[in-house]
Structure 1
Amino acid sequence: MSSTNPVIEFFQDLPEELSNVSLRKVKGATGRRVVMIFKQLQALERFNSFTKQFSNSMRLVDEEGEITIEPDSVQFRFTGPEGDELDRVEVQFDIDSEDHWDRFMRFMHRYAEANGMAYGETER
């Protein structure tokens, strides 16, 4: 497959900008939990949900191809004096297979490199 910039999409051909990502071990399980945080969503700001094809999933696209993820949870967090300003959107999903985890991490490394993101440990 040809080289392409990695993108994250909720709606086809409408790339979103990832603000942060958290990778966690799931207690008592072999899987891992991913929490992706978006400070804004192009789909909401442009009201594209009415004009673009929604796949009920999130697409991660890079030079290896496409990863389709059906999130376990999508939470909209609001702030502001009236509680109506979008603060962030949190998307959570679990990855149980080691092969799927490896593929996801290859995507994340490409996405981070293309978008000036860096890995860092959080303090406990």
Structure 2
Amino acid sequence: MANPAECRAALTQLSENLGKAQGDVRTAAAMDRSLSCWITDLDLTFSGRLRDGSIQDITQAPGKPAERAQIRLAMKGDDLVALVGGTLNFASAWASGRVKLEAGIRDLLQLRKLL
């Protein structure tokens, strides 16, 4: 089971990856939205802001997200680490229910470019 430090490192790596992206991925990552990632097995939420192609101001708090972010993710810590590490495909993880993603329809249309 991934620990909080490994999950935070994965989110930091995801942010760096988004910052290096090009084309449609860069466009999708450039939106300005609040973001939360609830790590279900640790009952820990990481929150931040997707802005200018990176995840900024990442904080962590115990439990489910206290506020409703514009983009909401929920998954186990191991799945977060695997997604960022490239060993778990987002689309198949989402389709199987291992990863939950909630956002407005316009945001979902933009985010699909990240897949």
Same fold, TM-score > 0.5, yes or no? no
Structure having the larger proportion of residues in strand:
1
TM-score of the superposition, structure 2-length normalised? 0.29
